[in-house]
Amino acid sequence: MSATQHIIAVVVVLTTLLGVDGSNGYYQTRVSQCRFSSWDLKDLEYIYSHWFNKVEYLRFNSTVGKYVGYTPHGVYNAERNNNDTAILAQTQAAKERYCRPNAQNEINYILTKKVEPIVKLSLGKASSGGHPAMLVCSAYSFYPKMIKLTWNRDDQEVTGDVVSSEELADGDWYYQIHSHLQFTPKSGEKISCVVEHASLKDPLEITWDSSTPEPERNKIAIGAAGLVLGLIVTAAGFIYYRTKARGRILVPNN
């Protein structure tokens, strides 16, 4: 994990409501944090904080190696704890006793975690590329990051007219990716998106259902008809131009 990546923290929060019946609304909170940003745990840090209501008044930081107070009451308790060798030694030992095994468990979970992608195949709006239709293959909520999306058309891999995004981070350890295939529909053909990922035992193949709903079929039919009509009009214009050009008599200028 690089230094630019986020710090991972294992946090335990203990909150106590002060007072005999809890009616005074005062809270004493103790927070234990194990913070690290590298897989080898070389930067492992233990932080033990004391809060009164929403104010932190005392903290132990393993990097500093002692207690530090932030209020008069905190300064008093910091000095008392730092002078008590038993309390200080016990708190210092928490980094190895408590943090390291828990942090290692967290790392092992992250490194071995595998979450299958949720794959959806849908019709998209074709761009100006000479094709009236476009299919979009989207994979969501997968982990780890590496994934491969390919297209098959009648069981043959398609390499042209395909545009894919990078793996996009969702911000919660999961990723998504999208691949677009522009095509001209043919009767009886089979088009599928093939997904390969560490969480899948075998590649996952999602086939486009040719029994597309009527509105979508109409869109494709209109697009295809428009493309054909455009070609016919272009060809007719070209033939007309060539015919006129052959019938034109050129008169030299004096």
Output the pLDDT for position 187.
81
Distances (CA, A) of 15 to 49, 51, 84, 153, 209: 12, 9, 25, 60, 56
Output the pLDDT for position 4.
35
**Which residue from 6, 1, 14, 11 is spatially nearest to 34, judged by alpha carbons?**
11
Provide φ and ψ at 124, rounded to 5°: -120, 180
Output the pLDDT for position 252.
47
Output the pLDDT for position 184.
84
Output the pLDDT for position 25.
67
Output the pLDDT for position 230.
53
**Which residue from 11, 2, 18 is spatially nearest to 48, judged by alpha carbons?**
11
For the chain, the first-to-last Cα distance in angstroms comes to 83
pLDDT below 70 — which residues of the chain? 1-25, 126-131, 210-254
Output the pLDDT for position 173.
82
Outline where DSSP puts E strands in 55-130: 55-61, 66-69, 118-124
Number of residues written out for the chain: 254
**Which residue from 57, 58, 60 is spatially nearest to 46, judged by alpha carbons?**
60
d(CA 212, CA 210): 5
Output the pLDDT for position 64.
95
Could you report the per-residue pLDDT of 196-206, keeping only the tens digit for each? 999 999 999 99
**Which residue from 83, 34, 73 is spatially nearest to 51, judged by alpha carbons?**
73
**Domains of the chain listed by start with CATH number:** 8-112 (3.10.320.10), 118-234 (2.60.40.10)
Which pair of tokens denotes residue 230? Answer: 């455009």
Output the pLDDT for position 57.
96
Residue at 20: amino acid letter: V
